[in-house]
C-alpha cells in the first residue's frame, strides 16, 4: 500500500474518530497524531503533496491513484467544496487538526459560508483549479468565482493517457471521466458559460492541449445547443480521445507538412486506429469510437478514411469536427503560424456544407461570436 493511500485512509479514519470524541479526548488526540505522522511521511518525499477528488476518482499531483478505484469519500469531500487539498511542508500538527476540524464541520453542517475566522494555516483546499504558488492562506471554502483555472493537472492526466495508449495499454475510463468533470467545473466558474481554452507553450504539449481544448469547445457548443447534461458529458468524453489514434503516428510525421503520399496515408490512418484502440478498451462508450472514426469525414466525401459509400455521420462527430478544426487552426504549428479567431471562423463559415455540416458550422460560428470576450486563453 502506498504512502498516499495510507495517508488518505488515516485522514478519513481520523475524521470519523473526531466525530465520536470531543477535543482533548485521548482517542481523538491519538488519531490526529497518527494521521499527522502519515502526512509527515508524504512530505518527506514530496514537500507539497496535493490530492484532487473528482466524483469517485482520486488524483495525486497530476496522476490518478489506481489503488483507490471508486473511493466513496471522493464525492463526499468534493460535495462540500474539498475537490482539492494541498499541504505545505511547514504544516504543523495544530494546523492539521484545525483543518480536520473544519472539514468535519463542512461534512456535518449545511452552512455554505462556514469559515475559520482569523485562523491562518499551511493547508489549502477548494475547487479543482485552485491557484498554486500562494504562500500561507486562510482555511476556507473557496468560492468558484475566485478560482483561477490553470488545468495543469488535467494536461498531465491527458499526457499520461496518451503515453499509456502509445505503449499499448489502452484507455483508462476513470481518467477520461475525471478530466471531463473538471472541464465542466471550469466552464461554469463565472456567472455565464465560458470556454477556458489553454495556450500552447511547447509543442510537446500539442496533443494534450488540443484534446482538452476540443473537449471544452464541444461541451460548450453542446450546452449552447440545449443538449442535456448526459449528452454534454458523453460528447466531452469522446472529444478528449477523438485524436487518440495519433499515438500510432511517428512524431516526425505529426510535425511535417510536405509529406509523401505514403506518409500522408499513415497520418490519415489515425481515425481508424483511434476507433480500434477505443473499441478494444474496457468500459469506453461506443460513441467515443464513432467520433474518433468519423471526425475527419466531410459532407462532400473528400475526408478520410475514404468510404465507398458516403454516409451521414453522428451528430457528436459533426460537432467535434468543427471544434477540433477551430482549435487546431488557432494554435501555432511547426509548418504554419496560428490563425486569428476571425480568420478561423471565416474558414468554417465558408466550409459549411462541404468541409463541415452546414447547420453545425453556422451554429458554431454564431456561438463563438457571442462568446467572444468569454474565451479564456
What CATH number is given to the structural domain containing 217? Answer: 1.10.3210.10
Looking at the fold, whether 232 and 334 belong to one and the same domain comes out as yes
- Per residue in 171-186, pLDDT tens? 878 888 888 888 887 7
Rounded distance between C-alpha atoms, residue 32 and residue 97, angstroms: 7
In this prediction, residue 326 carries a pLDDT of: 95
| Sequence-ordered strand ranges (E) for 18-133 | 50-54, 57-60, 63-64, 84-87, 123-126
Residues 174-217 have pLDDT tens digits of 888 888 888 887 777 655 666 667 776 666 788 889 999 999 99
What percent of the chain lies above the pLDDT cut of 90?
Answer: 35
User: Are both 103 and 129 inside the same structural domain?
Assistant: yes
Same domain, 131 and 188: no
In a domain, 156, yes or no: yes
Distance of CA 313 to the CA centre of its chain: 26
CB 127 within 8 Å of CB 147: yes
Residue 52 phi, psi dihedral angles, 5° rounding: -125, 140
Whether the pTM exceeds 0.85: the reply is no
Band the pLDDT of 8: cuts 50, 70, 90. very high
Among all chains, which residue has been given the C-alpha cell 482538452? 212
Say which residue, 114 or 166, is predicted with more confidence: 166
pLDDT in tens, 106-123: 887 644 444 333 334 578
Half-sphere CA count of 100, side-chain side, radius 13 A: 27
Q: Say which range, 12-21, 316-325, 345-354, has the weakest mean pLDDT.
A: 12-21
Same structural domain, 130 and 162: no
Contact criterion met (CB below 8 Å) for 58 and 73: no
- Biggest CA pair distance of the chain: 77
Structural domain tally of the chain? 2
Phi and psi torsions of 245, nearest 5°: -65, -20
- Residue 37 has what pLDDT? 94
pLDDT in the model for residue 295: 95
**Gap between the Cα atoms of 242 and 215, Å rounded:** 9
311 shares a domain with 210: yes
Boundary of a domain, candidates 80, 115, 144? 144
| CA pair distance 73, 266, nearest whole angstrom | 45
Query: Do 227 and 91 reside in the same domain of the chain?
Result: no
Q: How far is CA 51 from CA 61, 121, 188, 238, 296, in A?
A: 6, 17, 22, 26, 37
Q: Cβ(82)–Cβ(58) under 8 Å?
A: no
Report pLDDT digits (tens) over 70-105.
787 887 887 777 878 889 999 999 989 989 988 888
Other Cβ atoms within 10 Å of 154 Cβ, number: 29
161 in the same domain as 184: yes
244 vs 131 pLDDT, higher one:
244
Q: Is the same domain home to 132 and 168?
A: no
Q: Which of 79, 110, 144 is the last residue of a domain?
A: 144
Same domain (yes/no): 181, 244: yes
Closest CA to 85 of 37, 121, 53: 53
- Beta-bridge mates of residue 125: 85
Segment among 26-30, 92-96, 169-173, 346-350 with least mean pLDDT: 169-173
In a domain, 377, yes or no: no
112, 159 contact by CB (below 8 A):
no
**Per-residue pLDDT reduced to its tens digit, 229-288:** 889 999 999 999 999 999 999 888 877 778 888 999 999 999 999 999 998 887 788 899
How far is the C-alpha of 20 from the C-alpha of 173, rounded, in Å? 37
Predicted confidence at residue 147, as pLDDT, reads: 31
| pLDDT for position 167 | 84
The C-alpha atoms of residue 288 and residue 227 are separated, in whole angstroms, by 17
In a domain, 211, yes or no: yes
H-run or E-run covering 23: none
**124 lies in the same domain as 270:** no
- Cα separations in angstroms, 308 against 114, 261, 264, 304: 63, 20, 19, 11
Is residue 376 included in any domain, yes or no? no
Where a domain ends, among 83, 116, 144?
144
Whether 304 and 224 share a structural domain: yes
Is residue 110 in a domain?
yes
Q: Let me know if residue 73 belongs to a domain.
A: yes
Asked if residue 270 belongs to a domain, the reply is yes
Least confident interval from 62-76, 193-207, 220-234, 329-343: 193-207
Domain that holds residue 157: 152-371
Residues 115 and 243 in one domain: no
Say yes or no to pLDDT of 141 above 60: no
Amino acid at each position: 500500500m502506498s504512502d498516499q493511500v495510507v495517508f488518505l485512509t488515516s485522514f478519513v479514519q481520523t475524521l470519523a474518530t473526531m466525530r465520536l470524541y470531543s477535543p482533548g479526548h485521548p482517542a481523538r488526540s491519538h488519531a490526529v497524531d497518527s494521521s499527522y505522522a502519515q502526512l509527515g511521511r508524504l512530505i518527506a518525499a514530496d514537500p507539497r503533496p496535493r490530492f484532487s477528488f473528482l466524483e469517485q476518482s482520486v488524483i495525486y499531483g497530476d496522476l490518478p491513484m489506481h489503488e483507490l478505484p471508486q473511493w466513496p469519500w471522493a464525492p463526499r469531500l468534493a460535495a462540500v467544496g474539498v475537490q482539492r487539498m494541498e499541504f505545505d511542508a511547514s504544516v504543523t500538527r495544530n494546523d492539521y487538526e484545525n483543518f480536520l476540524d473544519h472539514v468535519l464541520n463542512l461534512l456535518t453542517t449545511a452552512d455554505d459560508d462556514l469559515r475559520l475566522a482569523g485562523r491562518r494555516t499551511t493547508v489549502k483546499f477548494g475547487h479543482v483549479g485552485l491557484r498554486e504558488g500562494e504562500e500561507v492562506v486562510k482555511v476556507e471554502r473557496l468560492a468558484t468565482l475566485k478560482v483561477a483555472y490553470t488545468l495543469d493537472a488535467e494536461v498531465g492526466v491527458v499526457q499520461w493517457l496518451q503515453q499509456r495508449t502509445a505503449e499499448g495499454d489502452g484507455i483508462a475510463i476513470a481518467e477520461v471521466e475525471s478530466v471531463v468533470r473538471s472541464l465542466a467545473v471550469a466552464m461554469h466558474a463565472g456567472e455565464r458559460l465560458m470556454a477556458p481554452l489553454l495556450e500552447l507553450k511547447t509543442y510537446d504539449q500539442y496533443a494534450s492541449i488540443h484534446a482538452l481544448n476540443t473537449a471544452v469547445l464541444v461541451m460548450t457548443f453542446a450546452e449552447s445547443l440545449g443538449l442535456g447534461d448526459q449528452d454534454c458529458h458523453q460528447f466531452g468524453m469522446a472529444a478528449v480521445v477523438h485524436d487518440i489514434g495519433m499515438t500510432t503516428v511517428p512524431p516526425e510525421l505529426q510535425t511535417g507538412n510536405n509529406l509523401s503520399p505514403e506518409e500522408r496515408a499513415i497520418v490519415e490512418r489515425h481515425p481508424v486506429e483511434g476507433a480500434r484502440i477505443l473499441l478494444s478498451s474496457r468500459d469506453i462508450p461506443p460513441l467515443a469510437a464513432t467520433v474518433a472514426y468519423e471526425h475527419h469525414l466531410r459532407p462532400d466525401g473528400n475526408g478520410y478514411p475514404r468510404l465507398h459509400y458516403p454516409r451521414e455521420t453522428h451528430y457528436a462527430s459533426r460537432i467535434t469536427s468543427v471544434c477540433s478544426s477551430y482549435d487546431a487552426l488557432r494554435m501555432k504549428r511547426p509548418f504554419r503560424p496560428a490563425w486569428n479567431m476571425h480568420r478561423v471562423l471565416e474558414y468554417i463559415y465558408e466550409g459549411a456544407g462541404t468541409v463541415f455540416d452546414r447547420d453545425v458550422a453556422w451554429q458554431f460560428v454564431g456561438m463563438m461570436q457571442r462568446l467572444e470576450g468569454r474565451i479564456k486563453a
